[in-house]
Amino acid sequence: MHILIIEDEPAIRDMISLSLQQAGYQVSTCGDAESARDEIREWKPDCLIVDWMLPGDSGIDLIRWLRRQPGLRQIPALMLTARAEESDTIAGLESGADDYMTKPLSLRELHSRIKALLRRPASWKDVSHRLRDGRICLDTETHELTIDDQPVKLSKREYQLLRFFLGHRNRVFSRDRILDAVWGNDCYLEDRTVDVHVLRLRKLLKPWGLDRCIQTVRGSGYRFRCDEEETRT
Ligand code: CA
């Protein structure tokens, strides 16, 4: 498995590179988006680790470019960001990043995220702007949702919440974290807001028996799990 790291800070780049090499991955590195594009075209890496802030084009620009390239756009990309603001996450995910991590990094966590990205079937993202999970398909350009190929209407907030869940499957998020990621931190809202919208989203998914995808994790928050085995009884 070949991983390409695009990061302009040598210390971070070397640290990640060394630890992934020790884990048995083949690793290449770039310090900017321009050289990364050449490297991606030439080597078609299996996974990218992309820093958000780069000299010249940003990591977001690079991922947007990647998602427009036939034959390359299915390459999973994990975005690194020094920005602590969770509301930026949405921008990162909208650009086509599959996952993100904030610095300072936990290498252990990075390894498990990379493993998860590499395990993901290629069909998961058949077209760059479509997020698919089992029977659910969310178009991030038109904001249209289809379940079993049937169109389903949803509000802007329901879209954003579902978008967040689909981009972060099988991970538990606290209400606070969901609130920051979906609503941003410019408004005064209570954790209960998340519960209310989760309830709405569950109601929306219920006719398909998919409401169970949004699991309440007692004392922690919510987790989105779309497991065909589990949802089709
Ligand atoms: Ca940087």
For residue range 9-19, list pLDDT tens digits in order: 999 999 999 99
pLDDT, tens digit, 9 for 90 and up, residues 122-158: 544 444 567 777 788 888 878 889 998 889 999 988 9
Is the previous residue joined to 10 through a cis bond, with omega within 30 degrees of 0? no
Q: Are residues 105 and 159 in the same domain?
A: no
Do residues 142 and 177 both lie within one domain?
yes
Domain interval for residue 66: 2-126
CA of 105 relative to ligand 1 center, distance in Å: 13
- Domain ends where: 98, 126, 154? 126
Our CA angle for 24, 25, 31, nearest 5°, is 140
**140 and 191: one domain?**
yes
Answer with the one of 126, 148, 169 that is the final residue of a domain: 126
pLDDT digits (tens, 9 = 90+) for 187-202: 677 778 899 999 999 9
What separation in Å is there between the alpha carbon of 89 and the centre of ligand 1? Answer: 16
86-132: pLDDT as tens digits:
666 667 777 788 888 888 899 999 999 999 888 876 544 444 567 77
Confidence of residue 233 (pLDDT cuts 50, 70, 90): very low
Number of domains in the chain: 2
CB under 8 Å to 181, separation ≥6 — which residues? 86, 87, 89, 90, 164, 173
Tell me what pLDDT residue 83 has. 65
Ligand 1 center from residue 178 Cα (angstroms): 25
Pair 144, 220 in one domain: yes
Ligand 1 center–CA 101 separation, angstroms: 13
**How do residues 24-76 score in pLDDT, each as one tens digit?**
999 999 999 999 999 999 989 999 999 999 999 999 999 999 988 888 888 99
Mean residue pLDDT of the chain comes to 85
Question: Residue 63 C-alpha to ligand 1 middle, in angstroms?
Answer: 15
pTM: 0.56
